[in-house]
Structure 1
Amino acid sequence: MKEIAQVPALTFLAKSRQIYKDPLPFHRENFEKYGNTFKISPKPGLMIHFTCDEKITQHILQKNQKNYHKSSLQTEDLGKYIGHGLLTENGEKWRANRKLIQPAFYKKSINNFMATMDVVVKEELDRIQLDKITDVYAIFNNLAFKVVARSLFDFADIENLEQKISRLQEITEQAQKMLIKELRIPWMKWYFDREWLSGTNSVPHALAMVDEARDILRIIINNRRDSKNEPGDLLDMLLHSTYEDGSHMDDDQLVDEILVLFIAGHETTANALSFAAQLLAHHPETIEKAREDVSKANLDETLMNQLMAMPYLKQCVEETLRLYPPAYVTDRVALEADECEDIVIEKESIWLVSFYEMHRRKDLWGEIQKLLTQVDLNQKRQKSIEISIFRLVQDHACVSGTTLP
């Protein structure tokens, strides 16, 4: 069996500040040095295996997925911020809640939300000042958050909803920053856990804000129930959805799932749109081709059908998701001992899959930075379907049945 190379602990410690700011260069350096799989011990008693091997990834996330669960980094560290929803659950509870929520994201349901999305997009575009340099991430972040908020809630029947949503956005962004600190610099846990030391940069402060967000969501849910209105938004669908035994989601679970939709539904979209804008700006010829797609739209069709009839624009989006996957890593823990590709996978070992590095391997993709401008995008897309994990793995798929990177 093949021995997995280990990054020296001193190397990790020496680059800890760089890792906190941006872990990707550290990942790249070690994949180049040690190959497609290596391991590292970020603190005593913790060993993490990194891989960008497509066969190991498919084995862990698809072929033998029942032997692998999300690690405590997701179920506990992330879970304490967003509760126990689809992003943080494992096993049967995950499957039951996914099955419960999924109908709200079928194509027919999404088609009903398209008008709302269209209104929000036009509102945000009107706010852009064309005579000055603008941070596109800020634009797309606000846009994505408002799309999620208006798809979830009918603003007409909830008092002061605009203010509540604004506060939810602020809390979400602050909690995400704290979570990143916890995950990237775990040796500072002693500092972040003590509010009297770290103040507003502490875990207790962030969790208090999350509790405030949960209270806001409970108020919104109770207001909806009291109003007796059924506007057909996502909240309405979630309130009326039932498990196989006929029971409904309790309020705590409902709040957890809404928090997941806010966090997973807006940040990943904002990241993807920002990188798409960057890639298009670097390749002006692709902008013209994308405009040709848009100009051919049949305005008599639904907005969903118009978008589905824009193949080049779709390819640009897929290439963006491959080059800059918003969820660039995921992890799993082996429930039992296993093996794959001459590598022994020990029981309870942690495996971190790097989609970012897998999608940039030259032996799989060639000169990846040139893909967006090549004429043979259809061939590249077929290769993406065969190799890219966001096309292979059901457990990593979006709840709608489509896929996320």
Structure 2
Amino acid sequence: MSENRKYNYPKRLSILRFFLDAEGIRRNPIPFHKRYFDEFGDSFSIKIGKSRNIILSRDNDIAQYILQKHHKNYHKSKFQSVYLSKYLGKGLLTVDGEFWLKQRRLIQPAFHKQKMNQLVENMREIIIYELEDLAEDKQVDLFPIMSELAFNVVAKSLFQFSISDQKLNRIKFIIEEVQNFLIKEIRLPHKAWWFSISGQVKKHLALAEENNKIIKQIIEERSSSENEVNDLLNMLLETRYEDSGEGMTINQLIDEIKILFIAGHETTANALTFTLFLLGNNPAVQQQVFDEVTKIQSETEDVVEQLQKMVYTNAVLNESMRLYPPAWITDRQNVEDDTLGQFNIKKGTLIGVSFYELHRNPKYWNNPDEFNPERFLGDQKKHSMQYFYPFGAGPRMCIGAGFAIYEMCLTISHIVKNYSIISVKNTVDFNPLITLKPVDVKVVFSNRND
């Protein structure tokens, strides 16, 4: 597109209104996004200064175009490539272009279904152990329990026997500290000078470096060990680049492991919390999960076979992630000028796709705010999957999706088989941070065997 050709954008939200709403948006952008979509349509734009353009969309065609059909022209934004990489390094989540493709091709085989099947028994044992002391017949805050479980499943699937509880707890502490500070940096850019001169940036960079050292020590101990261990670290150590036949450097391996911790921990904890909350408010659905799990477990003791038969449980999970997608928004910037639907957009336009709003867009979903697992069963499933992005889409779709589904199905089936769940409230609060984080979700577990 020539420089002279006129650019055009979706209906504009005035910059004055945006700044008037800014404090509310900082606290929780979702109600504001909904208001703007209802007023302007499925896409709207903001112009900042003379040349900075931002588009926010809940349009499925736009999502498909930037994530799949024309993904090579749409790279991750500076938020992901600069802010995140400062603390997380240059792993799959934060890099683009040829280097990303090289890493993706290298790591993908470690997450092949057959490889995941090898981890299932270990995963199941960790989940049973984590849920052993579940408090019964009293209100419990669900997210901390699911967060602890999800973190330990990722950590022990990565490292199996190679890590002490002390190191594990330190990694968890550092990840949470750094992530909380990162959110402050992103949401309060005008305070960047204060974060710098007050030493907060330096402190959190030092924590990130400490995390690197802990992971490096684990890798070096494993590399020098002759014990055969069937975990993700072993699979990653065995991977080889196609062109050179060499494995990853230790520093690159550290960066990829940090990404797996972040991506595989909080998103899963969020999804499990929302799913159990929904089951606690829908006893008929909970009963159907119980009936399915009981039937499957009477038919086979093979855990992989059990997982493959959990059709209804999977539908419940999908419907939960439709209503409350853990990765609730994504963004891209176009490398070159482009035509996006009916809009001619300038290179460098920041495009956000709200999966939260797309998943509730009445254009694609009947009664979009209603919890209905039937959407993901039988003939309805084919329709629903066209507009469903729990793990993103296209070549950059989450590499650990299969791992996460296994973990969540095992957790839900174990809990529902052994406990009935009652949610204390019928509405749920959440905080849209980097992920959609549930807040103050209380449930009561009652032992089914009593």
TM over 0.5: yes
Shift of 1:374: 5.1
Partners in 2 of 1:220 and 1:164 — Cα distance? 10
Shift of 1:218: 0.8
Deviation digits for residues 375-400 of structure 1, max 9, x if unmatched? 88434422222222458822342215
Structure 1 counterpart of 2:142: 136
Partners in 1 of 2:240 and 2:376 — Cα distance? 46
Partners in 1 of 2:369 and 2:68 — Cα distance? 28
Regions of 4+ moved over 6 Å? 42-45
Conservation of the 8 A alpha-carbon contact between 2:315 and 2:376: no
Alignment pair present for 1:167 and 2:170: yes
Conservation of the 8 A alpha-carbon contact between 1:337 and 1:346: yes
> Within 5 Å, which residues of 2 pair with 1:172-187?
172-187=175-190
Alignment pair present for 1:81 and 2:81: no
Query: Which SS does the other structure have where 1:364 is aligned?
Result: coil
Partners in 2 of 1:311 and 1:286 — Cα distance? 13
Deviation digits for residues 325-376 of structure 1, max 9, x if unmatched? 1111111111111113211121111111111110101121021232426588
Amino acid at match of 1:166: N
Query: Which SS does the other structure have where 2:146 is aligned?
Result: helix
Partners in 2 of 1:220 and 1:82 — Cα distance? 18
Structure 1 counterpart of 2:213: 215
Alignment pair present for 1:27 and 2:33: yes
Conservation of the 8 A alpha-carbon contact between 1:336 and 1:346: yes
Moved more, 337-346 or 390-399: 390-399
Moved more, 60-69 or 19-28: 19-28
Structure 1 counterpart of 2:76: 70
Q: In the superposition, relative to structure 1, how do residues 238 and 374 fare at CA in structure 2: closer, same or farther (>3 Å)? A: closer
Structure 1 counterpart of 2:279: 280
Residue from 180, 190, 193 that aligns with 1:190: 193
Amino acid at match of 1:273: L
Q: In the superposition, relative to structure 1, how do residues 317 and 375 fare at CA in structure 2: closer, same or farther (>3 Å)? A: closer
Shift of 1:185: 2.5
Amino acid at match of 1:143: L
Query: Which SS does the other structure have where 2:398 is aligned?
Result: coil
Partners in 2 of 1:11 and 1:303 — Cα distance? 54
Partners in 1 of 2:342 and 2:152 — Cα distance? 48
> Within 5 Å, which residues of 2 pair with 1:252-271?
252-271=251-270
Structure 2 counterpart of 1:305: 305
Residue from 230, 233, 243 that aligns with 1:232: 230
Q: In the superposition, relative to structure 1, how do residues 194 and 354 fare at CA in structure 2: closer, same or farther (>3 Å)? A: same
Q: In the superposition, relative to structure 1, how do residues 43 and 86 fare at CA in structure 2: closer, same or farther (>3 Å)? A: farther
Deviation digits for residues 54-93 of structure 1, max 9, x if unmatched? 1111111111111111111111111111111110111111
Structure 2 counterpart of 1:399: 399
Shift of 1:14: 2.8
Structure 1 counterpart of 2:448: none
Conservation of the 8 A alpha-carbon contact between 1:396 and 1:403: no
Partners in 1 of 2:391 and 2:183 — Cα distance? 27
Structure 1 counterpart of 2:337: 337
Partners in 1 of 2:177 and 2:376 — Cα distance? 42
Structure 2 counterpart of 1:93: 99
Structure 2 counterpart of 1:368: 368
Amino acid at match of 1:211: E
Shift of 1:42: 6.8
Query: Which SS does the other structure have where 1:232 is aligned?
Result: coil
Moved more, 271-280 or 40-49: 40-49
Conservation of the 8 A alpha-carbon contact between 2:336 and 2:348: yes
Conservation of the 8 A alpha-carbon contact between 1:144 and 1:266: yes
> Gapped runs of 5+ residues in structure 1?
197-201
Conservation of the 8 A alpha-carbon contact between 1:385 and 1:391: no
Partners in 2 of 1:378 and 1:256 — Cα distance? 41
Partners in 2 of 1:259 and 1:37 — Cα distance? 34
Structure 2 counterpart of 1:325: 325
> Gapped runs of 5+ residues in structure 2?
1-6, 405-434, 436-450
TM-score by length of 2: 0.83
Q: In the superposition, relative to structure 1, how do residues 250 and 148 fare at CA in structure 2: closer, same or farther (>3 Å)? A: same
Structure 2 counterpart of 1:387: 387
Shift of 1:7: 2.2
Conservation of the 8 A alpha-carbon contact between 2:320 and 2:371: no
Q: Percent identity?
A: 39
Structure 2 counterpart of 1:9: 15
Amino acid at match of 2:216: R
Deviation digits for residues 81-122 of structure 1, max 9, x if unmatched? 111111011111111111111111111211111122111211
> Within 5 Å, which residues of 2 pair with 1:29-44?
29-40=35-46
Q: In the superposition, relative to structure 1, how do residues 267 and 401 fare at CA in structure 2: closer, same or farther (>3 Å)? A: closer
Partners in 2 of 1:150 and 1:398 — Cα distance? 20
Partners in 2 of 1:192 and 1:36 — Cα distance? 36
Moved more, 60-69 or 117-126: 117-126
Conservation of the 8 A alpha-carbon contact between 1:239 and 1:248: yes
Partners in 2 of 1:266 and 1:227 — Cα distance? 27
Partners in 2 of 1:377 and 1:75 — Cα distance? 38
Partners in 2 of 1:80 and 1:71 — Cα distance? 14
Amino acid at match of 2:209: D
